[in-house]
Amino acid sequence: MQVKTQKDEIETYLSDASNMAGGSAEKLFLPENVDEIAEILKDADAAGTAVTVSGARTGTVGGAIPYGGVVVSLEKLNKIRSIDKTALFAIVEPGVILADLQSAIDNEGLFYPPDPTEWSCQIGGTVATNASGARSFKYGATRRFVRRLTVVLASGEIIDLIRGETVSDASGQIAVRTRGGREITARVPTYDRPNVRKNVSGYYNTQPLDAIDIFIGSEGTLGVIAEIELELRPKPEGFFSGIVFFQSGSQLLSFVDEAMARSFAAREAAEQRSATDIDASLLEYFDGNALRFIAEKFPEAPADAAGAIFFEQETTAANEDEMLERWNELLERHGADLDRSWFTTTEQDRERMRAFRHALPVAVNERITRYKQKKVGTDMAVPDENFAGFLRFYDAILSASGIDHVIFGHIGDRHLHANLLPKDDGEAEKARHIYGRCVAQAIMLGGTVSAEHGIGKLKRKYLSAMMGERYLNEMAELKRAFDPNGILGRGNMFEEKYLD
Ligand SMILES: Cc1cc2nc3c(=O)[nH]c(=O)nc-3n(C[C@H](O)[C@H](O)[C@H](O)COP(=O)(O)OP(=O)(O)OC[C@H]3O[C@@H](n4cnc5c(N)ncnc54)[C@H](O)[C@@H]3O)c2cc1C
C-alpha cells in the first residue's frame, strides 16, 4: 500500500468542489483492498487519529476535506468485479468512477439510472452521499439501487450488509453483527422526516430501518464503504429528449405541473397504463439568467427566454412517433417556444443536452474560483404545495440583492439550486446573509436544508437549525455506536462537541 507524506503529494486531497480553504493532513493512504483499509483504521482508532475518507472530491460541501489527521483515498480500489446481465446487478469497488461504470453497463445493454450530473465522482462517494440527480424524478436516489455493502468500521472490524437482512425492532433498536461475530447495537434517531421528495440532511431514519440505509448517505462518518452491489435495469430501447424554451415563467410552471401529474398517474396505473402516456424520467429547470450565463458555451440558447425545461422520456420503436406527438401537444398547450426548442431521439444529441445541463454547475464553480470566492448555492427542497411560493421567494430575494445569480435544477423533484455569484468579499458577505434567509424560509415551509449535496462541513450550522440539539444528540449517539472514538469524517454533519 502506498503511503504519502510529502506536502506536494497530499495537496490535491485537501480540497473539493466546495472551495473550502484550510485543509491539512499528515498522511495519505492509498489502500488496495479491504484488509488494508481495516489495518489503517485499526491503527488510527488506537491512536485517536482523525480519518477523512476521500472519493473523487467532487462533493460540494467539504465532506472529503481533512482538517488534520490522515486521508484514506479509495482511488486504487477501482475494479468493476462483475456485471450480471441476467440477475441485473453489478459488484464494484468504491473507487470505480461513475462514468466508467456507466459505459461498462451501457456496453452490456443495461442501465444504471442514478445520474448526479458530475460523472467523475466515485461510486463509493455516491453511496456515501446518497447522490441523486436528474433521473431521480423517476427512479429515486442512489439508495434505491444499493443491494449490498461491505463497510469497514473505525475499529477495523468489517460488516456485510444485505438489504432486507438486518432491520430495526419495534423499539427503534438495531443490531449489526461484524464478520468477527461482535454485535453492535444502536438506536435509530427519532426525528420526523420532512415531507419532501429528496432529503439527505442527517442520518436516514425510517421506522423500521434497514441497517444498510444507515450507512448510505452517512458522509464518511460511520465507516468506509469498501464494496458495493448495485441493482441494474434493462436499457430502455430509446429516449425522446428535449430542451424547450418558454417566454413566460408561469406557462413554464404550468407545463411542469401537468408533466409531473401525468407522469405520476402513468406510474400509478402501472400495468394498466397505456404505452403512450406521458411519463418523464427527468424534468430539469433553467431560469433565464442561467441560459444567459452559459450562452458563451451554448450561443444557440435564446437569450430572451424566461426559462427552459430539459425533459426526457423512455421510448420503444412502437411508441416513439406517438410520444413525440403527445409531448408536442402538451408543450404547445402551455405556450412553449417550439420553433427555437431542441428535440432529439439520438444518443449523440442527447449527450449534447446532458453537456448543456452539466455546463451550468461547472460554469458556476469556475466563476466562483475565478473571483476567489466560496460557493453560495442552495440545496434546499420544500413540500410540493410550497414550491411555487418558495421559487417566488428565491426570485424576489435574489433580484433585490443586485448580486449575479442563476437558478437551475431538479424541478420534477421540487428541488432547485439558487446560486449567488459574488465578485468580491462585500458581495460574498451579503450572499451568505441571503443564503441564511433562504434556509430559514425553507425550514419554515417544512423543507430540508439539503436535498442532495449533503451537509459536510459547510452546512452543519443549517442542519443544526433544522434539527435542533435533541436530534443532533441522537445522531451523535448513533455515530458513537459505530465509531466510539469519533475518528471518522470528523467535522462532517455536526460539530465535534456532540461527540464528547
Ligand atoms: C458540477 C457538479 C455537479 C453536481 N451535481 C450533483 C447532482 O446533481 N446530484 C448530487 O447528488 N450531487 C451532485 N454533485 C456532488 C457530487 O458529485 C456528489 O456528491 C458525489 O456523490 C460525490 O462523490 P465523490 O466520489 O466525489 O465523493 P467525495 O466528494 O470525495 O466525498 C463525498 C463524501 O463522501 C465520503 N466518502 C467518499 N467515498 C467514501 C467511501 N467509499 N466510504 C465512506 N465515505 C466516503 C467523503 O468522506 C465525503 O464526506 C455535483 C458536483 C459537481 C462538481
Residue 453 beta carbon below 6 angstroms from any ligand 1 atom: yes
Q: What is the band of 78 on the pLDDT scale with cuts at 50, 70, 90?
A: very high
Residue 333 confidence (pLDDT) = 96
Residue 409 beta carbon below 6 angstroms from any ligand 1 atom: no
Read off the pTM: 0.94
Angle at 231 between CA 259 and CA 99, to 5 degrees: 80
Residue 208 confidence (pLDDT) = 94
Which grid coordinates are listed for 220?
Answer: 464518511
Distance in Å, CA 61 to ligand 1 centroid: 9
Question: CA 427 to CA 421: how far, in whole Å?
Answer: 8
Cis ω for the linkage preceding 208 (within 30 of 0):
yes
Give DSSP secondary structure letters for 66-92.
Answer: -BSSEEEE-TT---EEEEETTTTEEEE
Interacting residues of 295 by C-beta distance below 8 A, sequence separation 6+: 301, 303
Residue 322 confidence (pLDDT) = 92
Distance in Å, CA 75 to ligand 1 centroid: 14
Q: Which ligand 1 atom lies nearest to the CA of residue 219?
A: 49
Which residue is it, cell 449575479?
404
Residue with CA closest to ligand 1 atom 28: 57
Task: Give the residue from 204, 423, 391 showing the smallest Cα distance to 285.
Answer: 391
Give DSSP secondary structure letters for 146-205.
Answer: EEEEEEE-TTS-EEEEETTTSB--TTSEEEEE-TTS-EEEEE---PPPPSSS---SSS--
Identify whether the C-beta of residue 143 lies closer than 8 Å to the C-beta of residue 216: yes
Residue 200 beta carbon below 6 angstroms from any ligand 1 atom: no
Check whether 279 has a pLDDT greater than 80: yes
Which grid coordinates are listed for 273?
Answer: 397504463
Residue 220 beta carbon below 6 angstroms from any ligand 1 atom: yes
φ and ψ at residue 195, rounded to 5 degrees = -85, 65
Residue with CA closest to ligand 1 atom 15: 59
Domains located in the chain, CATH noted: 2-73 (3.30.43.10), 80-234 (3.30.465.10), 238-444 (3.40.462.10)
Q: Which ligand 1 atom lies nearest to the CA of residue 95?
A: 41
Which grid coordinates are listed for 257?
Answer: 405541473
Residue with CA closest to ligand 1 atom 49: 63
Distance in Å, CA 117 to ligand 1 centroid: 11
Task: Estimate the crossing angle of helix 320-333 against helix 249-269, to 10 degrees.
Answer: 140
Identify whether the C-beta of residue 327 lies closer than 8 Å to the C-beta of residue 278: yes
Residue with CA closest to ligand 1 atom 23: 125
Per cent of the chain over pLDDT 90 is 88
Check whether 269 has a pLDDT greater than 90: no
Higher pLDDT, 298 or 224: 224
Mean pLDDT of 375-387: 94
pLDDT digits (tens, 9 = 90+) for 306-338: 999 999 999 999 999 999 999 999 999 999 999
Arithmetic mean of pLDDT over the chain: 95
Check whether 146 has a pLDDT greater than 90: yes
Which grid coordinates are listed for 281?
Answer: 424520467
Check whether 89 has a pLDDT greater than 90: yes
Give the largest Cα separation in the chain, rounded.
66
Distance in Å, CA 128 to ligand 1 centroid: 7
Residue with CA closest to ligand 1 atom 2: 118
E strand residue ranges, 93-145: 110-111
Check whether 195 has a pLDDT greater than 90: yes
Question: CA 225 to CA 128: how far, in whole Å?
Answer: 7
pLDDT digits (tens, 9 = 90+) for 90-112: 999 999 999 999 999 999 999 99
Task: Give the residue from 113, 138, 143 showing the smallest Cα distance to 126.
Answer: 143
Task: Estimate the crossing angle of helix 460-467 against helix 469-482, to 10 degrees.
Answer: 120
Phi-psi region of 39 (alpha: psi -120 to 50; beta: other; left: phi over 0): alpha
Residue 97 CA, distance from chain mean position: 15
Question: CA 258 to CA 264: how far, in whole Å?
Answer: 10
Residue 122 beta carbon below 6 angstroms from any ligand 1 atom: yes
**Amino acid symbol at 86:** T
Q: Which ligand 1 atom lies nearest to the CA of residue 220?
A: 44
Collapse the DSSP code of 224 into the 3-class scheme (helix H, G, I; strand E, B; otherwise coil) and give the result. Answer: strand
Residue 43 confidence (pLDDT) = 98
